[in-house]
Amino acid sequence: MKTSASIALIASVLAFTTTASAQFAKPDDAIRYRKSALFVMQQNFGRVAAMASGKAPFDAKIVADSAAVADFTSKLPWAAFGEGTDKGDTRAKAEIWKESAKFKEYADKMQVEMSKLAVAAKTGNLDNIKAAVNATGGTCKTCHDAYRKD
């Protein structure tokens, strides 16, 4: 799927949503939504990280496109961590709801780093991309260590 088409589709869906409570009819819907958004983000970030580490052949266009999708989707899952979404098919730890300010801080830091990655990816400079991947991956790991069940 082309990146611009993916972003346009996601943007059109988001245009019809306002709040988390209006967005999700039930907690399981929110859990599925956030898991899907996190999966898409991870797949795109992983593609960039694989190229940055030499595990996959470097393709500047794919890196730029994947980083753009990861950046966009990094903003999506947070509304789906609402009331009642701590139970069910989730790897989220209860600490997310007990330490919501800290969780939000980690999410915000990751989004900042993901945006920096998207900017670095547009340059096509592998050294810049590697540095941005490391910084972004570090923010992901920090949050996962604190708030994701194994």
Domain that holds residue 82: 3-147
Question: pTM of the full predicted structure?
Answer: 0.84
- The total number of structural domains in the chain stands at 1
Q: Which amino acid is at 5?
A: A
pLDDT tens-digit readout, 28-79: 999 999 999 999 999 999 999 999 999 999 999 999 999 999 999 999 999 9
Going from the C-alpha of 111 to that of each of 89, 105, 106, the distances in angstroms are 25, 10, 9
Q: How far is CA 33 from CA 27, 48, 119, in A?
A: 10, 23, 26
Quote the DSSP letter at residue 84: T
CATH number, domain of 118, equals 1.20.120.10
| Burial class of 98 by CB neighbour count within 10 A (0 to 12, 13 to 18, 19+) | exposed
pLDDT digits (tens, 9 = 90+) for 85-126: 999 999 999 999 999 999 999 999 999 999 999 999 999 999
